Amino acid sequence: MGISIHAPAGPTRFDAHGSDTTLDIELAKGLHNMTATSISELTSDHNPVNFDTNLNNFTSPPLSTFAFPNRQKFQTVLSESIPGNPTISNKDDIDQTITNFNNKIQDALHATSTYKAIHHTHPITIIPRQLRGKIKHKNRLRKEWQQAKSPPPPPQDANKQASA
């Protein structure tokens, strides 16, 4: 998961009975180059802690994005950017033509797509339409009962009514 725990080397709370403890810890996800320093300049039984993050070699993880291409615009841009049949006389011309063709496809795709960032790490789950309808019906029955409170149906009845 990439989670690391950081704490100062010494205790941060000092007890009169001699049982000193560390109360301040930090959980960091994706940041591993961190230092924790206990500041003992205050006259208190609990020292504040300073957590420093070194961002010199830090690279943020890439955002998950999903492309929504406009197929009609893609076809138009691609047909306008690729000339007719290229002249091919040797193997190098074939390789160059294939590379050029792939680049034109990628350029047209980028030019005609709308991108949306996905901000979660879990894959998108699609609930089938029939199941969504049953869940919606069950939630509506539950809401009606919560508003009326009469008669109180057992939970099994709400499930049976929703599945009917």
pLDDT for the residue numbered 2: 66
pLDDT for the residue numbered 125: 62
Q: Comparing C-alpha atoms, which of 130, 116, 32, 120 is closest to residue 66? A: 116
pLDDT for the residue numbered 76: 92
Digitized pLDDT (tens) for each residue of the chain, 164 residues in all = 567 788 888 888 888 888 888 888 888 877 778 888 888 877 778 888 888 888 777 776 666 777 788 889 989 998 899 888 888 899 899 889 888 888 888 888 889 988 887 766 555 566 777 888 888 888 888 888 888 876 655 666 656 665 65
Q: Are 31 and 3 in contact (CB under 8 A)?
A: no
Distance CA 20, CA 47 (A): 11
pLDDT for the residue numbered 132: 82
Amino acid at 112: T
